[in-house]
Amino acid sequence: MFLAALLAGCMMPGGHGTHADLPPLPPLVQPEPNGDVPVPETARDENPDPAIVEVSLAAAPTTVAYLDGRPATAWAYNGSVPGPIIEANKGDQIIVHFTNDLAEPTTIHWHGLRVPNDMDGAGRLTQPIPPGGRFDYRFVVPDAGLYWYHPHVRSEVQVDKGLYGAIVVRDPAEPALDAAIERLLVLDDILVDPASGAVDDRLDMRGMMMGREGNLLLVNGQSSNRAITVAPGARTRLRLVNAATARFFSLRLEGGAMVQIGTDGGLLPAPRALSSLLLTPGERADVIVETTTGATLTSIGYERAMGAGPGGEAALVRLVTSGAPATPRPLPAALRSIDVLAPIGLVGTSRLGERMAHHEWLFTINDATFPNVPPVMARVGARPSWTITNESDMDHPFHLHGFFFQRRGVAEWKDTIDVPANSSIEIVVDLASRPGAAGDWMYHCHILEHAERGMMGALTLQ
Ligand code: C2O
Ligand code: CU
């Protein structure tokens, strides 16, 4: 619609693949191979009880170096981008003593975790923590998997500046995968001046419409194209989270094999061989990679809006082989049993759209912008079908707080799912009862510039 009109120039026969209307994507900086992929620190557990993980987090401005030796300003949890990893076992209680040392209000939202409503940290629906304020988050983590945490106030700015971290919830009863190493890869991108390393915060017309994308891919807060060293043939488990505000990471493994074993809500029923992996903002994946002679995990770009351009390719991570060859046992054929959820009742249809108002782009749900999107109503314990119809010419990754859902007929647990341009998906939401399940739960596009420009609503559970 509007985007089509904007992009019409580049769709014309004889067009040169560029258009005057939207500025092109900034070309990717490909750093020289340089050192190892950094391992984010794990948050220090201050509680001796093995079933309680008690940590302290503070959000504050800090100085980082996205390019070696070139300091840049960021906002971070405990001074590092990404923030410390919170590691727990399924069923543990997590206590987070949070201090806001920013000059503006913030919250922490626990993306994907089934927490009580008043612990969800969802900005305008719950408690924003003022500058200098403190808040103790307390919740139990009922499900194994990879989750992440980030602010829910001015999220397109606060997350973009570096406020995000990962949460790994382990299940000691998980089937043995015979992985020689496991690494967490938190993906992001940032727009930097390649000479000075300074972060460029400008939001141009393209950023306003597509969300802000950078020119430097980050893995665990450092420039991409670093190494993970593995034995030839050994199995490496990579847990990936896309923490970028807008970039879709489409990944291919060149020189090796890639098998997906898990997604947002933990393990899949069975391993699934992949030729490429699309990770929208907010999504996670648990993958196994193997190579005998070395491989490159490459970001190959993704066309997420007609004619907008997929962006360039860049090496994200290199798998470098060294040492004696390994021969891992075969992966288990079954990882977990998940029933396909049959819907009971429905909550209706949410239509994602966009429009121009006062020379600004607005992103809408059922033609309204947050907080004026009429709430979706449902009962605790229900299992409704919900249709998300994308009436716009670009993809929008749909995210629901506090509950897992399945794409109808697909036995895997998701909390964030791509709704491609001009298409519809039907999800079945498991609104299972638990303490604190009632309340207003946000749902929104996880392109955070879109969420903050209106594409957000509430699911009201009674
Ligand atoms: Cu990861 Cu409401 O967000
Ligand atoms: Cu969107």
Atom of ligand 1 nearest to the CA of 112: 1
Spacing, Cα 196 to ligand 1 middle (Å): 32
Q: What is the pLDDT of residue 125?
A: 67
Spacing, Cα 195 to ligand 1 middle (Å): 33
Q: What is the pLDDT of residue 124?
A: 65
Spacing, Cα 408 to ligand 2 middle (Å): 21
CA atoms within 13 A on the CB side of 121: 30
Which residues, given as ranges, of the chain have pLDDT below 50? 1-20
Q: What is the pLDDT of residue 14?
A: 29
> Contact at 8 Å (CB) between 247 and 162?
no
Q: What is the pLDDT of residue 202?
A: 85
Neighbours of ion ligand 2 (CB under 5 A): 396, 445, 447, 450
Spacing, Cα 444 to ligand 1 middle (Å): 7
Q: Which ligand is nearest to the CA of 112?
A: 1
CA 8, 9, 10, 11 dihedral sign is: positive
Q: What is the pLDDT of residue 3?
A: 45
Spacing, Cα 168 to ligand 1 middle (Å): 17
Residues with CB under 6 A from ligand 1: 109, 111, 150, 152, 282, 399, 401, 442, 444, 446
119: phi then psi, degrees, rounded to nearest 5: -110, 5
Q: Tell me the whole-structure pTM to 2 decimals.
A: 0.94
Q: What is the DSSP letter of 344?
A: B
| 74-131 confidence digits (pLDDT tens) | 999 999 999 999 999 999 999 999 999 999 999 999 999 999 999 999 966 667 999 9
CA distance 395 to 230: 36
CA distance 152 to 118: 14
Give the closest residue (by CA) to ligand 1 atom 1.
111
CA distance 350 to 390: 8
Give the closest residue (by CA) to ligand 1 atom 3.
111
Both structure tokens of 35: 């050192």
CA distance 168 to 148: 8
Q: What is the pLDDT of residue 84?
A: 98
